[in-house]
Amino acid sequence: MKISEVQEKILKLKKEQDICILAHSYQSREIVEIADYTGDSFQLSLMAQKTPQKKVIMCGVRFMAETVKILSPEKTVILANPEAGCPMAEQMDKQMIESIKKDFPDYTVVAYINTTAELKTVCDVCVTSSSAVKIVNAIDNKNILFIPDCNLGDYVAKQVKDKNIKLLHGGCPIHAGISVKEAKDAKAKYPDALLLVHPECIPGVVAEADYVGSTSGIMDYASKSDAKEFIIGTEMSIAEHLQYAYPEKKFHILSKKLICVNMKITSLVDVLNSLKGAGGEEINLDETTIRDARKCIDEMIRLG
Ligand code: 13P
Ligand code: SF4
């Protein structure tokens, strides 16, 4: 079957069954084309609440599908490919953070949204890359334990100087794998281009950037900028989506290593099978997990 034929089947079934398809911007072109909404982690979590459909298919990674379920427990939430996990989300677990909290009883625990539902139950507030600085600023406590991404945490700490921010050793293996040399080499290769990077990159790479922001922040910046050439320092799908949207501008990838296999594991056929009830995985969380994890997501929405 051709890609366009699978897409047609998906669009037909989706309409007949009144199902909403959400896709993170790191998904491939052919999935973004059939999605009802595409966005970064924060936009998807808000969209999950707004969408009127009773069933949602998530094309992204597991923590994103869990976030939809936490925010809309009455909805049926399907993760299109059950193998799609985020390695960073699984780096720390509930027991580890509960034990660290004993040593830092007066700290507010800030969890990047890239964490499991179970881990969120023992945290105080969530952040996404687009809201982290604003939310940490707004927290009514000087002492912050920021988990799990020490690179995003370092970026936040540099913007929010009046807080005492403790970091742990976690992070995104894809973004954190980019070296300062690669950033410098890309700038030398494309001297007229602006370097736009995600704050999950290491501090030395962030320091080389002309702009630092979330997935949607990078896309907005590139769309509004008068510049004509950009080096994209986040998952390489973003360069591809931008190139389609703005053919008159030039987008280079910062490194060929910037590909998240977990984000790319979902195929159109997975989406089709999820619609047919022959694939995907329904996300089920118990009531206590939903209630406790929701507190820190609600706090994110309140402070953001
Ligand atoms: P954002 O979508 O919040 O920019 O996060 C990037 C990411 O790595 C998602 O897993
Ligand atoms: Fe996780 Fe990094 Fe992939 Fe995002 S890009 S899903 S943080 S591994």
The answer to whether the CB of 237 is under 6 A from ligand 2 is no
79, HSE (Cβ side, Cα atoms, 13 Å):
22
pLDDT at 304: 85
Q: Can you tell me the mean pLDDT for 137-164?
A: 97
Nearest CA to ligand 1 atom 6: 215
* Cβ contacts of 183 within 8 Å, gap of 6 or more: 195, 197, 204, 205, 208, 209, 233, 254
Q: What would the mean pLDDT of 59-80 be, rounded to a whole number? A: 96
pLDDT above 90 covers a percentage of the chain that reads: 95
Q: Which atom of ligand 2 is nearest to the CA of 172?
A: 2
Closest Cα partner for 135 from 165, 92, 105, 115?
A: 165
- Return the best residue to mutate from 64, 88, 114, 127 for the ligand 1 pocket (most ligand atoms within 8 A of CB): 114
Mean pLDDT (the chain, rounded): 96
Q: Determine whether the shortest distance from the Cβ of 27 to ligand 1 is under 6 A.
A: no
Tokens 């959400």 correspond to 22
Taking residues 56-75, report their average pLDDT. Answer: 95
Q: Which atom of ligand 1 is nearest to the CA of 128?
A: 3
Q: With a cut of 80, say whether residue 293 has pLDDT above it.
A: yes
At 242-259, the pLDDT tens digits run 999 999 999 999 999 999
**141 CB contacts (<8 Å, ≥6 apart)?**
106, 107, 108
Residue 40 Cβ contacting ligand 1 at under 6 Å: yes
Q: Which residue has the tokens 């994209």?
A: 232
88-133 per-position pLDDT tens digit: 999 999 999 999 999 999 999 999 999 999 999 999 999 999 899 9
Angle, in degrees to the nearest 10, between helices 215-224 and 41-50: 100
The residue whose CA has the least distance to atom 2 of ligand 1 is 40
Identify the pLDDT of residue 40.
Answer: 86
Q: Which atom of ligand 1 is nearest to the CA of 216?
A: 4
Higher pLDDT, 49 or 266: 266
Residue 112 and residue 303: Cα distance in Å, rounded? Answer: 14
Residue whose tokens read 């969530």: 126
Containing H/E element for 211? strand 211-212
pLDDT over 80 (residue 45): no
Considering only 44-53, 110-119, 141-150, 290-299, which range has the smallest mean pLDDT? 44-53
The whole-number pLDDT of residue 42 equals 77
Q: Note the pLDDT of residue 186.
A: 98
Q: Which residue has the tokens 């769309």?
A: 223
Q: Starting at the edge strand that comes first in sequence, how are the strands of the sheet with 164-167 ordered?
A: 125-127, 108-112, 143-147, 164-167
Report pLDDT for 4. 97
Query: 128 in ligand 1 pocket by Cβ < 6 Å?
Result: yes
DSSP secondary structure letters along 81-148? STT---TTTTSS-HHHHHHHHHH-TT-EEEEESSS-HHHHTT-SEEE-TTTHHHHHHH-S-SEEEEES
User: 180: exposed, middle or buried (C-beta count within 10 Å: 0-12, 13-18, 19+)?
Assistant: middle
Between 304 and 168, residue with greater pLDDT: 168
The number of residues in the chain equals: 304
Total Cβ atoms within 10 A of residue 104 = 13
Provide the pLDDT for residue 33. 97
- Given pLDDT bands bounded at 50, 70 and 90, which one contains residue 176? very high
Half-sphere exposure (Cβ direction) of 115: Cα atoms closer than 13 Å: 31
| pTM, 2 dp | 0.96
